[in-house]
Chains A and B, each alone.
Chain A
Amino acid sequence: MYVAIGIALLVVGSILFHLFSPWWMTPIASNWGSIDTALEVTLYICAIAFIVLNLFMAWAIWRYRHRPGNVAHYEPENAKLEKRLTLWTGVGIAAMLAPGLIAWHEYVTVPDDAAIVEATGQQWQWAFRYPGPDGVLGAAEVAHINADNPFGIDPRDPYGRDDILIETNELHLPLGRPVKMVLRSKDVLHDFYVPQFRAKMDLVPGIVTYFWMTPTVAGSFDILCAELCGVGHHQMRGTVVVEQQADFDRWLAEQMTFGQVLAEAEARGVRLADAAPAARPSGRAAH
């Protein structure tokens, strides 16, 4: 008896909680409205199922609770009803899956005009690299990393010379331009996560992963690590600043290139191209 009321109240309470709780998705700041749409479709279908099933249960418990003289109905199965329920469940599932798969197709199809930006993770900080005027990131791998070459860029790769290196935790992106985030890790798994962008992807040592998005709102947002990466996981923070193209270009022009780093090192008598091990054909960063 009480449990029937309790279930009904929990359903009502859950709806009220949904309507009045202050916690919901952050305002979106990227092109991934399709993900939000798929999420909302899923939510509404699931909410209907949740309300109908639980209220039916509460009603059945109340209506068929044991009282003197109450006898249960004997019905081993009802193939017709079960088939009908299966069918309608299938329809609901398909209605959820379709927008999900469509959004995923978009997610895995990087536009040709996307700018390339690389994020590198290590315990417990972020670093970023832009391809420079040639639009191509120089090959990089962990084996090349040393004190003068923290990104592990192959010093002999001509594409690497104009790469722009950002060793602070601050990433800048131009507003309204698709960007392919290329991800590398130096040590363990990390995950590049900006809640407002919706998109995220793991950084996996040994391989290069990616995702793409278009920032649609100017402002600064938190970058978090969303894959457990050790005791400092919760402190692995960064900031992404989305700004107008002109501001972005101005900022980018102030940053160091790998060519400058090489020149500085050479001025101190360190020739990175000689110090680094020979580049192997395997494990090269994707261009």
Chain B
Amino acid sequence: MSLVSRLAEKSWETPGASPAVGGSDRPPAAKVVLVLYFGVAAVLFGLVTSAYLMRMGMPGMGHGEMGGWRPLAEPPLLWANTITLFLASFAWEAARISARRGRQAGIWAFSAGLLGIIFLIGQLMLWRELVAAGHGLRDDPAAAFFYLITALHGVHVLGGLYFWARALLGLGAGPGVALRIQLTATYWHFLLFVWLVMLGLFVAT
């Protein structure tokens, strides 16, 4: 039944149980919660993006031209980190496919998490590099946004690592594993997606 027809139900006319509702056809709760959280995170990053554009001096917002805006520096490490996150996502995908086919997913899942850690370390190095190049928090609004956005994204990566650890610990634990790896992989794809959008924002402006 489509959502619209469900919301159009004249429920007073139909006394009697509807066996279809409450059956096992519902998706797993963890999956629902993940999708809901994607909504929350999308709003979060979407708002930071619009704040970034407004602060840049998007015309028509009535903000005038705000001073002190310089385009962000784009050191090579930025691209290296992006590739690392790509590889992490790729490894998660391999782990997901292996788990679904009932094969050993451990090695893929393990390396995926390691790549995530490398990404985080890379981001920290990028911060240090930018600060050393004179793009501190105070000096440069674009850089301040960069730190804010990478920090928010980094916290989400840390969350991903938490789920990674839980997936690794539960590897031998029976039928739930494939789902757990699948959901963790989906989450990491989402992290990559968010990062690519944010990267696009930095590069385009």
Contacts and interface: CB of A to CB of B under 8 A. Distances in A.
B64 A206 contact: yes
Given A76-B10, A76-B12, A207 B67 contact: no
Instruction: Give the secondary structure class of A's interface.
Output: loop
Nearest to A143: B67
B12 A280 contact: no
Interface in A265-287: 280-283
A206 B68 CA distance: 12
A207 B54 CA distance: 14
Given A76-B10, A76-B12, A282 B62 contact: no
Interface string B55-97: 0000000111111100000000000000000000000000000
A283 B67 CA distance: 7
Most interface-central of B10, B64, B66 (chain A CB within 10 A): B64
Nearest to B57: A282
Contacts of A280: 67
A226 B64 CA distance: 23
Interface residues of B, number: 9
Contacts of B12: 76
Interface in A134-176: none
Contacts of A282: 65-68
Interface in A73-100: 76
A281 B57 CA distance: 14
Contacts of B62: 207
A206 B66 contact: yes
A262 interface: no
B64 A208 contact: yes
Of the four ranges (under 10, 10 to 19, 20 to 34, 35 or more), the interface on chain A belongs to: under 10
A76 B68 CA distance: 62
A282 B141 CA distance: 15
Most interface-central of B62, B66, B67 (chain A CB within 10 A): B67
A84 to B, nearest CB: 20
B10 A283 contact: no
A74 to B, nearest CB: 9
Interface in B1-37: 10, 12
Contacts of A206: 63-64, 66
A204 B68 CA distance: 18
B145 to A, nearest CB: 17
A284 to B, nearest CB: 9
Contacts of A283: 64-67
Contacts of B68: 282
A207 B10 contact: no
A208 B63 CA distance: 9
Contacts of B10: 76
Contacts of A208: 64
Interface of A: 76, 206-208, 280-283
Given A282-B66, A282-B67, 12 more contacts: A76-B10, A76-B12, A206-B64, A206-B66, A207-B63, A208-B64, A280-B67, A281-B65, A282-B65, A282-B68, A283-B64, A283-B65
Q: Pick the 3 closest A-B CB pairs, nearest first.
A: A282-B67, A207-B64, A76-B12
Interface of B: 10, 12, 62-68
12 contacts: A206-B64, A207-B62, A207-B63, A207-B64, A208-B64, A280-B67, A281-B65, A282-B65, A282-B67, A283-B64, A283-B65, A283-B66
